[in-house]
Chain A
């Protein structure tokens, strides 16, 4: 290996690390925006209380990355961020566990199926929303002994509502990803 190839490799590594640093920063900013939207948006639009932008982000990240480890870690990060703004009577970790599982399963599904088409992504988005709502409800009842009601009809309706929001959101994220890669 001569000097010029060494220099090329070094510059490539540094650009890769810079790229990943940008990607991590972008993810942190996106997570913050998602959490703030969940924290603040219902004050402006009361029906937005059912909008799960952090969950939609977790699903997107899981579907776009076939490696489950980063997806589950991202899910855990988003979930714990949400947990830290949850009421004090709900301990930290409830959303963390749920979103960790969602991230892992989303990435596992993307390893086995082609999730590039929009329809499959939206179906999976709906499925993961229902799974997320049910698992969270089950954990609150089982682990915290809190008698929270679970309305199936309402959950399905909110799932459809979130899918409708996911459609443009994923298109925007796709554009951002393409721009990032280019």
Chain B
């Protein structure tokens, strides 16, 4: 008896191992045989883990996002400390609202898609991954309390994501289309060729398309609805390569939905089949971006008359006076301008093609025009010195001379002693 007991003790660990492993194998076989997923253990585990993950996700989403914004704003503030404080505040607000807008854009796209699609959907957020690295599954923050049921399709506005594999009270597990065990019925846009999408090998392949069928690179594939999961007419992806194989074509797709990276998804509660569109799925229309704002200097030079305040009017008046009196503000040895004078009124420029000078000047008054080459320069500016202003303008150019032909002798300057005319003979 003692020998048996001692032998048992030496093999105790092996016996326990066999018992534990066998128990698990039998339990596994029972699940596979009956297709009965053990809900109790899963519900306990999911209920224990997902609230913590949800809290962590909420903290990450809010706190880290806030901290990022905060540090970003600190950086902006450091950069703009040299600028005026008003401008600084406005920029900070601008950055804050822009971040808010970016965050809301994806949700807006989902809302637009929800309103557009005939299927009834509910939006959900991805909160965690599966524990199996080779299996592609995620958890979303909607469960049976949001009327989600097992087998429902999960999509985004860009494409398909997966199907609901398990439902718990507050969360649901979504098996992604990239999982090796997942197949989706698809249909090509042009030839309406049916096939089965399989992404098990890491690359998404449309199976069951015969070599005789015509599929072109760049062609869109849509859900065919034959899998009874996805309603017909949801975009799946575009063909990136087509190669003939042994009986069946090797058609590879580029998924449009990016199932692994989706953060917000839509669960299709009531799917409605749609016709496959003949045109390429429209991308979300966006207003064309505005051109960059012009430089402040250009703005002021292009619009000299746009004054806003009294101070602007004064600045403009003094600048005009300075120009008229050749005064350079801030320059050394520049003459003192007379600020009491009124600046000369501006001549309105005629609009182009308005009928020429006659039409612009019906009274027949002489018009100020560009100086002709060789003509005396006339200045219209009023002088600050009244004596100077009374003097006639001094011609700055010489009177024109008669041009001589090439090779002609240069005329000698006349002399006072010798008369230019020859002496005349007196009659006797």
- By a beta-carbon cutoff of 8 Å, the part of chain A in contact with chain B is 32, 35-36, 38-40, 42-44, 49-50, 52, 54, 67-69, 72-73, 76, 80-97, 100-101, 104, 107-108, 137, 140, 143-144, 146-149
Given contacts A35-B49, A88-B165, A91-B37, contact A76 B175 (CB under 8 A): no
Question: Does B13 contact A143, Cβ atoms closer than 8 Å?
Answer: no
Cβ of B134 under 8 Å from chain A: yes
Cβ of B306 under 8 Å from chain A: no
Alpha-carbon gap, A73 to B131, bound state (A)? 20
Question: Does B28 contact A143, Cβ atoms closer than 8 Å?
Answer: yes
Given contacts A76-B24, A91-B31, contact A38 B37 (CB under 8 A): no
By a CB distance below 8 angstroms, the chain B residues around A147 are 180, 200
Question: Does B179 contact A87, Cβ atoms closer than 8 Å?
Answer: yes
Q: List 10 A-B contacts (CB under 8 A).
A: A32-B48, A39-B49, A40-B127, A68-B16, A84-B44, A85-B131, A88-B175, A89-B175, A91-B32, A101-B21
Q: Give the A-B pair count, Cβ closer than 8 A.
A: 147
Alpha-carbon gap, A104 to B127, bound state (A)? 34
The one of A86, A100, A146 that contacts B181, using a Cβ cutoff of 8 Å: A146
Cβ of B287 under 8 Å from chain A: no
Question: Does B133 contact A50, Cβ atoms closer than 8 Å?
Answer: yes
By a CB distance below 8 angstroms, the chain B residues around A54 are 131
Chain A: which residue is nearest B198 at the CB level? A147
By a CB distance below 8 angstroms, the chain B residues around A87 are 130, 132, 135, 137, 165-166, 173, 175, 179
If over half of A's interface residues share one DSSP class (helix, strand or loop), that class is named, otherwise mixed; here it is helix
Question: Does B129 contact A73, Cβ atoms closer than 8 Å?
Answer: no
Question: Does B129 contact A49, Cβ atoms closer than 8 Å?
Answer: yes
Total chain B interface residues with beta-carbon distance under 8 A: 50
The one of B25, B41, B53 that contacts A80, using a Cβ cutoff of 8 Å: B41
Query: Within B156-207, which residues are at the interface with A (CB < 8 Å)?
Result: 165-166, 173, 175, 179-181, 200-202
The one of A32, A84, A92, A104 that contacts B17, using a Cβ cutoff of 8 Å: A104
Question: Does A88 contact B173, Cβ atoms closer than 8 Å?
Answer: yes
Alpha-carbon gap, A146 to B132, bound state (A)? 14
- Shortest Cβ distance from A141 into chain B, in angstroms? 11
Q: Mark B45-68, 1 if CB is under 8 A from A, else 0.
A: 110110011001100100000000
Question: Does B25 contact A43, Cβ atoms closer than 8 Å?
Answer: no
Question: Does B131 contact A38, Cβ atoms closer than 8 Å?
Answer: yes
Question: Does B49 contact A149, Cβ atoms closer than 8 Å?
Answer: no
Alpha-carbon gap, A149 to B32, bound state (A)? 21
Given contacts A84-B46, A88-B175, A146-B180, contact A100 B21 (CB under 8 A): yes
- Shortest Cβ distance from B8 into chain A, in angstroms? 13
Question: Does A88 contact B166, Cβ atoms closer than 8 Å?
Answer: yes
- Shortest Cβ distance from A100 into chain B, in angstroms? 5
The one of A32, A68, A93 that contacts B27, using a Cβ cutoff of 8 Å: A93
Alpha-carbon gap, A50 to B134, bound state (A)? 9
Chain A: which residue is nearest B32 at the CB level? A91
